[in-house]
Each structure stands twice: as structure tokens, then as C-alpha cells.
Amino acid sequence: MSVGVFDVAIVGGGTAGCAAALALRKRGMSVVLLEKGQCGAMASGTNFGGVRRQGRDFREMPLATRARAIWDRLPELVGEDCEFRATGHLKLARDAAEMAELERYARDARDHGLELSVVGGNAVRALYPWLGEAVTGASLCPDDGQANPRLVGPAFARAARAAGAEIREFAPVTHARWTGAGFEIDAGGATLRARLLVNVAGFWGGEVAAWFGEPVPIRPLCPNMVVTEPVPYVIDRSIGVCGGNVYVRQVERGNVIFGGGRGWGDTARAISRPRADVARDAMARTLAILPWLRDARIIRTWTGFDGEMPDDIPVIGPSRTTPGLIHAFGFSGHGFQLGPAIGEIVAELVADGRSASPLAPFAIARFAGAPPAPAPR
């Protein structure tokens, strides 16, 4: 059965795909978004909820700065704030070497338009009396923040649908091919046609790219997450540490969410599970910086799938083999913050053939000739 001809077909209904659908509709293009499950339920809905620029690879900074401006505009863009709060992001040092790292990053970040304030141990505990003795200093990015990941993808999906995009859930794309004049896409028992194709399939973006002769060395990344019962609201910043082996935030309802280490995932079946030993290690590191949390009860642990590239930055840009194919995947554990900007960037690439954001570091060509992905760790 062959149905439908669209300007653009989007494979993947994470935040990136749903934001792209909305941005493309705003440019008047006809759009179908194909999601194998429900929109915003994979990495975009299972992540920690950190909306931070601090600590980012500087190659991503122009994109992260663009995204940060959009986070403030969510109510006008998608009709709700998705619990985005600009609480600031506080990165902690636990020894002299980590303190030196914070100072070095803050110095370099200035060249990329990011102003951080670094304070030593005594000052940091005066400012944040809820931090434990293990903390020797911190660096604050005041306009970073946090949001509820469960809300963001679906909000973009609803806004895109209201703007006229066709959003098809439970419509797995099993294959897509270039016909010479556009794309044929097999999805949910139907074959659709589109002039242009957007690959925002998260970890599975590697599989989609391989259909077009562009294999990339992507690996699954399953950060291990934990949440406590509600406790009195104290932690009014989102927290990370040098090295990233633990990160913590508290929602206004009181629950404390923390992550660190990796869970388990079976990519073939799209099943991921948290690991108890990894959660216990993250708990110990959390208690070192927030000792008063020791009596809080854990109510849930989870993980999810992101795609991790060997150089820790995503693939964003046109295909090198197939005209009209745009990739944006492999966000390597930090694509939630970028998602709203990725939508705009994809729309620019589709409609104008170029983006206002600098994308050269993200070209898929950097993996030309790359062998298939090795077995998951």
C-alpha cells in the first residue's frame, strides 16, 4: 500500500524530531513524523532533566546558547513551561585537581560567551550550607537550569500537530530508500513518500544512516538514574561534579533525582534497565556532597538509551551520500538541552540548505569509512 506524499518525513519523535516538525510547519512545509513508540518516551523522556551549558564541549556552545534562549520561550512556543526553571548549575570540586579544572574551564568558557563564577570551599559552604565537607569549591552558571523531561517532547508534539504536522505514533520505520526523486519510507505497514527525510532517531539514528551507506561507530549510552521520596526543598541549584560521576537536582515537589554511572541496555529489543550496584555507588557519591540525604528513601531507579559517538559530540548535518537526507542524532548524553535548537537547525537545513549555527564539527563525514559499531559495553 502506498499512501501520502509529504515535503518532509521525520524518523523519530524525541524532542529533536518534534521540535523539527513544529519548526518545519512554521515554514509552511507538509510534515509527517513517524515514531515507533510514543513521542518523547525514549531518551527525551527518561533523561535527568539537566538544561546546562556549563561543562559542555565548546564546539557545542553556539548550539547550546541558541537552545538556552528557546527554553525561556517555551510557553509561547508550545503552550507550557515544561517545568523549566533557571535554577543555575553548580559544578563542584572535591579536591585541588578538580578545583584547577573548574578554574581552567571557566577561563576558557569566557571566550565562548559563558560567564561562570568560581568560589573556594569556605565561600561555597557559606553560600550553600547544605553542601557537605567533601566539597572544596564550585563553579556557578547562573542561567543554566532544569526541566521535566516527561513534558517536553509531548508538548512539542502537540504543538506540531496543532500547527498541522501529521504525527504518527506506533509507526516504526522499517526501511527508507532514495528513489532518485525523493524517499520511499516503509512505516507501520504503509509506504509513504517524501521529498526530504530527517533522521532524528536517537541511538537508532546510526541504523537509519546505515540504510544510506553511512555507518557510524555509535554506541548505546544508558545513564543510571535514581529518585528519592519527597524531602524538604533545599537544593535550589542543579548540581554536577568534575568528571561527571554524579549529578543531582531536586524538584519543587521535593523529590531528589540523581544519576551517575551506566545501566544496562539491549538495543535490539529497546529494553534498558538500571543497575543496583551502579545506583549504590552513585548514592555514596551523592551522600559525600549532600550528607543530610542519608535517610531519604529511594522510590524508583531507571535508565534509557542515548547514542554515544566516539568524540562525544553528535552528528548534525546533511548526508554525504544522499541528497535531501538530514541527520541529527548521537547526542552522547547531553542532547536534552539542545533539543529545541535542533528543531530550528534541522528546519534551516531542510528549507534553506544551510544553518545559521556552525555545524562543521558535527558532519557525518568525520566517520567516513568508519567500521560498524562495536558490541555494546
Ligand X SMILES: Cc1cc2nc3c(=O)[nH]c(=O)nc-3n(C[C@H](O)[C@H](O)[C@H](O)COP(=O)(O)OP(=O)(O)OC[C@H]3O[C@@H](n4cnc5c(N)ncnc54)[C@H](O)[C@@H]3O)c2cc1C
Provide the binding-site residues for ligand X, judged by CB under 6 A.
11-17, 34-37, 41-44, 46-50, 172-173, 200-202, 204, 223, 225, 303-306, 329, 331, 333-337, 339
Based on CB atoms, which residue is closest to ligand X, 98 or 306? 306
Distance (Å, rounded) from C-alpha 137 to C-alpha 150?
32
Specify whether the CB–CB gap between 23 and 347 falls below 8 A: yes
Nearer to ligand X, 119 or 190 (CB): 190
Q: Which CB atom, from 90 or from 99, has the smaller least distance to ligand X? A: 90
Dump strand ranges (E) for 153-287: 166-168, 173-178, 183-187, 190-199, 219-221, 223-230, 238-241, 247-250, 255-262, 264-266, 271-273
Nearer to ligand X, 17 or 136 (CB): 17
Contact 146, 239 (CB under 8 A): no
Candidates 211, 213, 190, 191; CA nearest to 201 is: 211
If the CB atoms of residues 119 and 148 are measured against ligand X, the closer one turns out to be 148
Q: Which is nearer to ligand X, 136 or 199 (CB)?
A: 199
CA distances 146 to 48, 94, 334, Å, are 9, 23, 13
Output the nine-digit C-alpha cell for 150: 516527561
Q: Could you tell me the smallest distance in angstroms from the CB atom of residue 160 to ligand X?
A: 13
- Chain-centroid distance of CA 113 in Å reads 21
Q: Which residue is nearest to ligand X (CB)?
A: 14
Give 46-70 as a DSSP string: HS--EE--TT--GGGHHHHHHHHHH
Give the residue among 310, 307, 319 at the shortest CA–CA distance from 371: 310
CB of 150 to ligand X, least distance (A): 12
The burial of 31, by beta-carbon neighbours within 10 Å (0-12 exposed, 13-18 middle, 19 or more buried), is given as buried
Closer Cβ to ligand X, 14 or 317, answer by number: 14
Nearest approach in angstroms of CB 43 to ligand X is 4
Strands 89-93 and 238-241: parallel
The DSSP bridge partners found for residue 10 are 33, 198
The residue behind cell 553556539 is 62
For the bound state, the minimum distance from the C-beta of residue 197 to ligand X, rounded and expressed in Å, comes to: 12
Cβ proximity of 326 and 343 under 8 Å: no
Q: Which residue lies nearer to ligand X by CB, 99 or 109? A: 109
Min separation Cβ 125 and ligand X, Å: 25
Nearest approach in angstroms of CB 121 to ligand X is: 26
